[in-house]
Amino acid sequence: AQSVSQHNHHVILSEAASLELGCNYSYGGTVNLFWYVQYPGQHLQLLLKYFSGDPLVKGIKGFEAEFIKSKFSFNLRKPSVQWSDTAEYFCAGDRGSQGNLIFGKGTKLSVKP
């Protein structure tokens, strides 16, 4: 069965620290992968997405993610986090051909000023 897993439930960092959030998927065939962010009290917003081509994908607000097919991973990275990055981050992948998504359970990021 298709699944997406996120290993870190809650990550606490100080400002300027580097960030890497893990995401692994279990799929067969073509994979489209996404990272969404949910700031407190706001709706889910797309950070970045991977369809094909360059496995290093750059998104908004300085975030990037690397698709590593051999490891079934799509980890999210940011070299230097800010307090405003405090949010919950969700990894997701396509479910079938309709464009529907399967989500991981999310990782809550707290950045201390």
| Euclidean distance between the first and the last CA atom of the chain, given in angstroms as a whole number | 41
Single out the residue of 12, 46, 56, 68 in contact with another protein (rule: CB under 8 A).
46
Complex with another protein: residue 3 or 18, whichever CB lies closer: 3
Cα 79 to chain centroid, rounded = 15
- Nearest-approach distance from CB 17 to another protein, in angstroms: 25
Complex with another protein: residue 98 or 113, whichever CB lies closer: 98
Site for another protein in 3-32 (CB under 8 A): 4, 30, 32
> If DSSP states are collapsed to H, E and C, what string results for the chain?
CCEEECCCCEEEEECCCCEEECCEEECCCCCCEEEEEECCCCCCEEEEEECCCCCEEECHHHCEEEEEHHHCEEEEEECCCCHHHCEEEEEEEEECCCCEEEECCCEEEEEEC
* By the rule CB under 8 A, 95 interacts with another protein: yes
- Nearest-approach distance from CB 42 to another protein, in angstroms: 7
- Nearest-approach distance from CB 104 to another protein, in angstroms: 5
For binding to another protein (CB under 8 A), which residues are involved?
Answer: 4, 30, 32, 36, 42-46, 49, 51, 90, 92, 94-106
